[in-house]
Structure 1
Amino acid sequence: MQTRRDFLKDSCKACAGTSVLGLLMTQLSACSSLPVYKTNLGAKTVNVPFTSFAESNLVIVRDMQTPFDILVVKKSETEYNALYLKCTHRENPVSATKTGLYCPEHGSTFDLEGNVTKEPAPAPLKRFTTSVGEGSVTIDLNS
């Protein structure tokens, strides 16, 4: 026969397990992979074709020669954000999901505008100037 103490202990374990499972499922759904546009960031500008945004309003721009990616966020047909995915806390790579940005090293989080939503990051992510041209969005890497 189960005592009251055993019942409460088992109930707490079940409740905690359910909570952890729910949190894990939420995190996994947010971590679905984003499209990646591979390029050479050695130039002063990068042109990302509009077709790169066919699957998502978020595209990661990657150069295998540099340690940090750029996230391009399509806000509208004529407005884009380009964020350098380098944490302002300790210069670690930032991970992008469909719902926000996360630094796995110390837990800083950022919104899709690059603003800090959870410290220890002291400042927003670096933003590059973007412009819309015919068939692509241009990122000015000198801005």
Structure 2
Amino acid sequence: MNINAFVPILLLAALKDSFKGTHPAVIASLSARVGSIEDNQLGGWYSYRASKAAHNMLFKTASIELKRLNNQCTVLCLHPGTTDTGLSQPFQARVPEDKLFTPTFVAEQLLAVIAQRSPDDNGTFWAWDGQPIEW
């Protein structure tokens, strides 16, 4: 909960004043598909799922409040896919080869997803491939 929910929202709170105004502001935070209550088909991973669901709720709530401060604000939650890092190494053997991504690929994909979003997308959740994810 500290790493996945509290630290990101505390950082956002600390930066809140810089979002005030009429300038474009994009806040994109890494979440995970397992934090989607709607998309949960497998169960398991209780703590991780709960922390990412908390992250999603905090950022969805922040998106509403920040929109009041700046109409040009866009708050997004992003799912990077399974990225080849230490976090995913214990279960990479079960990940199809074409679904395990390098950090560079993920960064490029997420930047492209962010670039395609507008203030109309404020408070939404997106996958690395540009597909929306249900909360």
Q: TM-score range by the shorter chain?
A: under 0.3
The TM-score normalised by the length of structure 1 is: 0.26
Bigger share in helix: 2
The TM-score normalised by the length of structure 2 is: 0.27
Higher Rg of the two aligned structures? 1
Bigger share in strand: 1
